[in-house]
Amino acid sequence: MCGQDRPSGSRYQTQACFKPVDKKVAKEGDLVVEEFPISFGGYDYIYGRIAYVVGNSPAPVILVHHNYAGLKQFDIDQACFLAKVGYVGLAVDLYKETPAYTYQDRALNSGRIVDFEGFCAAARAENPMEREDAQYPDEELQGFFGMMPKDPKDDGKVHWQGIRHFIGAFRQMNALLRAPGNWRGLMDAFLQKAFAHPAVKAGHAAAIGYCLGGQSCLEQVRAGHQIQAICSFHGLLHSRPTTEAEPLNSLKRMSKEDFDKELAIPNTYNTAARVLIQNGAEDAEVPADTIMDFMQEMDAQGIDWRFENHARGPHGFALPKGSPGGDHYTESIDRRSTLAMLSLFAETFPSFPQFPVECNAAGCKLGQRILVEGDTARQRQRASVMAVGSFVAGAFLGVLALKVSKSKL
């Protein structure tokens, strides 16, 4: 379940092929990652990152939207994967940093094992709900402690860092979902700034996202943003927050009727965007009624959509172990869904070739390559360069041989 997996204790590690080169010393063909801060609504979102390969022609930018946990290293690495494929990757930062949920907390959902007494002391000292009086009655803490997953080998104790992560992430997620105008505006600010970057082909863009990130992708379509395609990985199909009665239960969402009445804003759909949904057939976060609602919504706008349902697929199938939400990583589905995403981008941006990459950010080796219309021209160009190089080398050797023969005479 989103944000409620048992702490695995493992840590996500960046694949070697996605470690960037410092821009100051980078040469043609090197991967570079730059800071990409955005000031919006009176707040500075400082953790965004843009990835590209030095020497490549300007290419479409692909926004990478994070899951419930917020922007973290996995999202940046997936932006690096997209950059090495041939695009520009932009890891988007949609969360505000607070004392109760720092940037470091986003990637840490385990650690600091405590019993009930330690749990109460930590809750009152760190105030994860950010209450003005920082008051947490014993009865409330007992109920919360009882519902948290426990590892039998820890003698019924809990990971305080996991709880801090879980509460902080859900508070940030719900703040986003309850302010759709701000959410859409922030994403568009990232998009417009990206169009001004020299590595980006202005006006050419797509988006991908995981869990909450899938919702972000669909919100960009609903907002009419200038993107040509989106791909959602185990993303929810609506944009409703959890209920006020159970704010930390991802399966308890505001009703469609209440959302339309209290929070919804007008949609100005980008009807030209291609929409690809990669869904796990056993994802409890995406019930059947929301699938039907999504299809009807897209059809009503005449949007080109595709819904791929992967047999027995769980929520979080594309998130690697060690990354929050990654306890149900399924390599076969990650591979198929990644290839489907690349096929979507090849169809959408046919004049931009794709290049083979060792693996994606989860470490999944794709074993296949999507051929793009532009690849043929690129191959001819490379063949021409090689032919010219061979001719020049041959001529040089011929002149050298002539000089040698003359010297012997």
- 255 shares a domain with 332: yes
- 394 shares a domain with 258: no
In a domain, residue 149? The reply is no
CA distance 18 to 73: 11
CB 233 within 8 A of CB 344: no
In a domain, residue 350? The reply is yes
Residue whose entry in the numeric block shows the structure tokens 């803490």: 141
β-bridge pairing 59-65 and 200-210: parallel
- 391 shares a domain with 315: no
- 408 shares a domain with 277: no
In a domain, residue 151? The reply is no
- Looking at the 3D structure of the chain, how many domains does it have? 2
In a domain, residue 110? The reply is no
- 408 shares a domain with 299: no
pLDDT for the residue 407: 41
With a cut of 50, list the residues of the chain below it in pLDDT: 1, 4, 379-409
130: region left, alpha or beta (phi > 0 left; psi from -120 to 50 alpha): left
- CATH number where 49 lies: 3.40.50.1820
Nearest to 233 by CA among 153, 314, 303: 314
CA distance 83 to 96: 26
Distances (CA, A) of 136 to 128, 141, 247: 10, 7, 16
- 93 shares a domain with 36: yes
pLDDT for the residue 212: 98
pLDDT for the residue 10: 75
CA distance 191 to 400: 55
pLDDT tens for 239-250 read: 999 999 999 999
What b-and-e string marks burial along 378-391, b requiring 16 or more CB atoms within 10 Å of the CB? eeeeeeeeeeeeee
Question: In degrees rounded to 5, what are phi and psi of residue 202?
Answer: -55, 135
Query: What is the full DSSP assignment across 173-205?
Result: HHHHHT-HHHHHHHHHHHHHHHHTSTTEEEEEE
List the structure tokens of 87: 């695009």
- 291 shares a domain with 390: no
In a domain, residue 163? The reply is no
- 356 shares a domain with 330: yes
Alpha helices per DSSP H over 302-372: 331-348
List the structure tokens of 152: 């039998």
Enclosing domain of residue 300 = 16-98+171-371
pLDDT for the residue 376: 57
- 321 shares a domain with 209: yes
In a domain, residue 133? The reply is no
pLDDT for the residue 400: 36
- 200 shares a domain with 183: yes
For the chain, how far is it from start to end, CA to CA, in angstroms? Answer: 85
pLDDT tens for 39-68 read: 999 999 999 999 999 999 999 999 999 999
- 254 shares a domain with 195: yes
- 240 shares a domain with 379: no
